[in-house]
Amino acid sequence: MVLKRNVGLSGLKYRGGGPMLAWSLHRISGITLISLLSLHVLSSFFQHQLGNDLATNINIIYESIYVQVFIVFVVIFHGLNGLRIIILDTFPKLIEYQREVIWLQWLAFIPIYGLTVFVMVTRAFGGN
């Protein structure tokens, strides 16, 4: 019996594709959310307890449109990817269609994120 296995350096080739990218982005977005929330709590503490200028500077960074757009990206992606994971865990037979579900996730993410950013940018730059 001959086993068809990749042995050597060719076996180290990355073949993850969409699912591995979604896994990586989910972990990165989770760490980013925890970091941003911790920084926000720390800034509130400095503002209310110490009246420090550091808190004012952190809040100025948070109020930047660029940071807001990034935060919206992280929150929406993490939420939709979490829903995808919940659906795949609830219905294990859908695991074989994981790549298609990832495409559906991105098809939902792009208009939601695009519309949200459009509204944010138009309001930030003089719109109503």
| Residue 6 within any structural domain of the chain | no
Domain at 22, CATH number: 1.20.1300
Output the average pLDDT for the chain.
86
Contact 88, 94 (CB under 8 A): yes
**Residue 84 included in any domain:** yes
Write down the pLDDT at residue 127. 62
Tell me how many domains the chain contains.
1
pLDDT at residue 91 in the model? 92
Q: Answer whether residue 2 is part of any domain.
A: no
Spacing of C-alpha 65 from chain mean position: 17
pLDDT-above-70 percentage for the chain: 86
Give ∠ CA 38-40-44 in degrees, rounded to 5: 115
pLDDT in tens, 70-107: 999 999 999 999 999 999 999 989 888 888 999 999 99
- For the chain, give percent helix, strand, coil, nearest 5: 85, 0, 15
Q: Collapsing DSSP states into helix, strand and coil, what is residue 17?
A: helix
Kindly state the DSSP code that residue 115 receives in the 8-state scheme: H
> Domain range for residue 51?
17-124
User: How high is the pLDDT of residue 45?
Assistant: 86
Give this prediction's pTM.
0.80
